[in-house]
Amino acid sequence: MSMASWVMKVADELVAPCEPTPCATIPLSSIDHVLGLAFMLEMISVIREALAKALVPYYPVAGRLVSFDDRIEVACNGEGVWFVEAAVADRSLNDWEAIPLSVVKEELLPSCPPHLNQQEMILMMQIEGKNCKRDIQYQFTTFEVIAAIIWKCRTRAISAIGDVCLTFAANIRHVLFQLPKAGYYGNCVYPLTITATGEQIMQASLAELVGLIKDAKESLPTKFKEWASGNFKEDPYKISISYNHLTLSDWRWIEFYETDYGWGIPNSISPKTHDFSFTCGILLKQPLPKDGVLEGQVVMKEHEQRFIDEINKCVNV
């Protein structure tokens, strides 16, 4: 296995102190000038720290080594520590014993770009960053996965050309300044929309699509604040009727099947979506031992079998 397939340096930057620090030049001690100690100590680490905060009390570390005649001093200029984020393919650096001995230290240790003098650096750090494909498989919601599968399979089934959109309703109760009164069961949602080309969605992995959905959910506070203040170009509540636009809603947490309407709990619940003027799907939970179900107009009749085939290929890999 080649070195490049093990370690990939994802991002690098200078991390400076997060607050102003003193500007001064600090002379080093006689011990620091011992010739036998004039080398860089190389360590391999998986530590993720709040480096910028630590560089405030330890501000000399963010400086540079400078020479004056035969003396070396520290210029406390706050330029920062060279910080490299790396990833190990399909593994964690915690699995150290699994990393082959053929991987050279340059892959595992930081090196700064030519415009920075590495000999002047006091500290450089390289850490294992979060891997958008290795971590997502453990950190997702059922809705995110179902939505990703439906969007990908539907886009393939209709052979979408141009932009395709996915819209889903997100709960906004936690971002409201004034919460609805206790006992309020009405809608309190904001529609989030993701737009990409059909080709991108058809070629993307499910992990990448889940990532898009997660990113949209994380943007909710900002987008809702912009809408509430009138700072928006298009009204997010106006749903497109384009066939390339899919709207999904999650009703699994509405307690339809736990409610006794006077003659026992219902055997079946089905929303009336066939009169809708836009393409939509509603996720429903059924009584155990049955699985969940998708109701709605997800595709036209002529694309129905292809959509089912795509779903079967996706869930049976």
CATH 3.30.559.10 is held by the domain 136-315: yes
Task: Kindly state the tokens that stand for 1.
Answer: 């296995």
pLDDT in tens, 257-309: 777 777 787 777 777 766 667 788 888 887 766 677 787 788 999 999 999 99
pLDDT in tens, 20-49: 898 888 887 666 665 555 555 555 564 556
**Spatial CA neighbour of 279 closest among 243, 235, 249:** 243
Domain range summary for the chain, segments of one domain joined by +: 3-128, 136-315
For the entire predicted model, the pTM comes to: 0.57
Whether the per-residue pLDDT at 134 is higher than 60: the answer is: no
pLDDT band at 135 (very low <50, low <70, confident <90, very high): very low
Give 114-136 as a DSSP string: TTS-GGGBS-EEEEE-----SSG
Q: 248 forms bridges with which residues in the sheet?
A: 168, 281
Alpha carbon distance 105, 102 (integer Å): 9
Alpha carbon distance 283, 147 (integer Å): 9
Whether the per-residue pLDDT at 93 is higher than 60: the answer is: no
Query: What distances in angstroms separate CA 1 from CA 6, 96, 103, 168, 173, one per listed residue?
Result: 8, 16, 9, 42, 50
Alpha carbon distance 256, 33 (integer Å): 76
Are the CB atoms for 103 and 6 separated by under 8 Å? yes
**Spatial CA neighbour of 50 closest among 98, 79, 15:** 15
Predicted pLDDT of residue 2: 42
**Spatial CA neighbour of 166 closest among 138, 200, 142:** 200
Is the link from the previous residue into 289 a cis peptide, with omega within 30 of 0? yes
Quote the percentage of the chain above a pLDDT of 70: 76
Instruction: Give 64-105 as a 3 state SS string.
Output: EEEEECCEEEEEECCCCEEEEEEEECCCCCCCHHHCCCCCCH
Domain 3-128, CATH class in plain words: alpha beta
Alpha carbon distance 277, 245 (integer Å): 12
Identical fold between 3-128 and 136-315: yes
